[in-house]
Amino acid sequence: TVYDLMGQKIRTLLRSKVHPGNHFVRWDGRDDDGNAVPSGIYFYTLESMNRIESKKMMLVR
């Protein structure tokens, strides 16, 4: 899930469960409605069965 600096949810990227292993998820810089979001700092959160991790990223258009 991608969030803006205010903590508002921008986009949910993956809703299904996946098998253990390495996976790749790409964000196209759009919100859940398909609108392009502006350049800026965003946070993404990855959740697994026993871990939640958040990281910061920068989107440059």
**Which two tokens mark 17?**
């469960």
Q: In this structure, are strands 40-47 and 2-3 parallel, antiparallel, or unpaired?
A: antiparallel
Angstrom CA distances, 39 to 7, 32, 35, 58, stand at: 16, 16, 13, 7
**Cα(12)–Cα(19) distance, rounded to whole angstroms?**
19
Q: In this structure, are strands 40-47 and 9-11 parallel, antiparallel, or unpaired?
A: unpaired
Task: Determine if the pTM surpasses 0.75.
Answer: yes
pLDDT by residue, tens only, the chain of 61 residues: 999 999 999 999 998 888 888 989 999 999 999 999 999 999 999 988 889 999 999 999 9
**Cα(5)–Cα(25) distance, rounded to whole angstroms?**
21
